[in-house]
């Protein structure tokens, strides 16, 4: 974001005096900004889309799963780059997890409304376009064999016809279909099942985005593997908390179509600096390599 709105932002993208353009937004925005900055040999720090997932192992504490998943999926009406969008649950606990999540989602229905009201838990979608995208995604998911277990409808239309309040949607999916592989910026949580940990990691990594991820488990070996290079391919990897829990002191950003940049963290300042090598000769002589002498 830059002061002055879109016109100033467009100008800065092409201005050779701007050494680094830091941009947060959609993958489409990154694809538009990146080549323009690169064309003038400038640098980009991009934080783009996130299609974040959590894996729920059979050993997981299901109380943590419900708390972490609902907060990450429904918080900010699903309109955070780190919102939880996919839940990959072991088949032994999938039914129980889905039932408990559905119960929590039904409780949310009474707490949807004006974000200035202290009792509100879920505010509005950003626009009519956001609502349309959510409804389109739900229709595609159902066409792919998915079942809307809870939520998905619009609420408060009579009281606030210009606002788009929706019930966060919980959708049981038979597989990771194309609509699940896309980021829909709305409170939709797709639930899928797995049998082996290898299958869970494959499902988790099988999307173009790579921002935030989580694993709920009591198995230390699984946790160690998930946070390693053999596990999650995201820039943020959490264990036993949701995807939207980003440590303020940690490097924030992702891999793949998420852009690869990092904001925050102990080294983030380096992205905004120009690195230079300085050699200062404080002597009165300048010895040359190979003993070269000029007469």
- Provide the annotated active-site residues: 47, 81
- Per the listing, tokens 């391919």 go with 233
Assess contact for 201 and 227: CB atoms under 8 A. no
The DSSP element (H or E) to which 113 belongs, if any, is none
Identify the DSSP state of 290. G
DSSP labels for 159-173?
T-TTS-EE--EEEE-
Start-to-end CA distance of the chain, whole Å, equals: 59
Contact by Cβ (8 Å): 1, 21: no
Give me 53's structure tokens: 């997932």
Is the dihedral angle over the CA atoms 189, 192, 198, 204 positive or is it negative?
A: negative
Contact 257, 208 (CB under 8 A): yes
> Which residues fall within 8 angstroms of residue 140, CB to CB, at 6 or more apart?
177, 178, 179
- Pairing outcome for strands 20-24 and 43-47: parallel
């Amino acid at each position: 974001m830059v002061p002055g709105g879109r016109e100033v932002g467009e100008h800065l993208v092409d201005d050779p005096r701007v050494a680094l353009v830091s941009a947060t937004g959609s993958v489409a925005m990154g694809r538009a900004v990146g080549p323009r900055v690169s064309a003038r040999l400038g640098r980009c720090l991009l934080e783009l889309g996130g299609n974040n997932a959590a894996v729920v192992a059979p050993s997981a504490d299901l109380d943590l799963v419900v708390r972490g998943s609902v907060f990450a999926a429904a918080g900010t009406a699903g309109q955070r780059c780190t919102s939880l969008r996919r839940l990959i649950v072991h088949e032994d606990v999938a039914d129980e997890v889905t039932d408990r999540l559905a119960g929590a989602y039904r409780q949310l229905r009474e707490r949807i409304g004006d974000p200035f009201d202290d009792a509100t838990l879920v505010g509005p979608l950003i626009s009519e376009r956001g609502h349309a995208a959510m409804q389109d995604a739900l229709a595609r998911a159902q066409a792919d064999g998915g079942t809307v277990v809870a939520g998905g409808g619009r609420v408060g239309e009579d009281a606030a016809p210009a606002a788009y309040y929706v019930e966060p949607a919980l959708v049981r999916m038979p597989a990771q279909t194309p609509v699940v592989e896309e980021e829909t910026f709305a409170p939709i949580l797709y639930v899928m099942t797995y049998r082996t940990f290898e299958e869970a990691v494959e499902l988790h990594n099988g999307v173009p985005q790579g921002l935030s991820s989580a694993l709920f488990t009591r198995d230390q070996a699984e946790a160690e593997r998930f946070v390693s290079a053999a596990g999650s391919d995201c820039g943020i990897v959490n264990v036993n908390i949701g995807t939207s829990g980003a440590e303020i002191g940690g490097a924030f950003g992702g891999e793949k179509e998420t852009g690869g940049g990092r904001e925050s963290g102990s080294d983030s300042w380096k992205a905004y600096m120009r690195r230079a090598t300085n050699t200062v000769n404080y002597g009165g002589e300048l010895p040359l390599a190979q003993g070269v002498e000029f007469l």
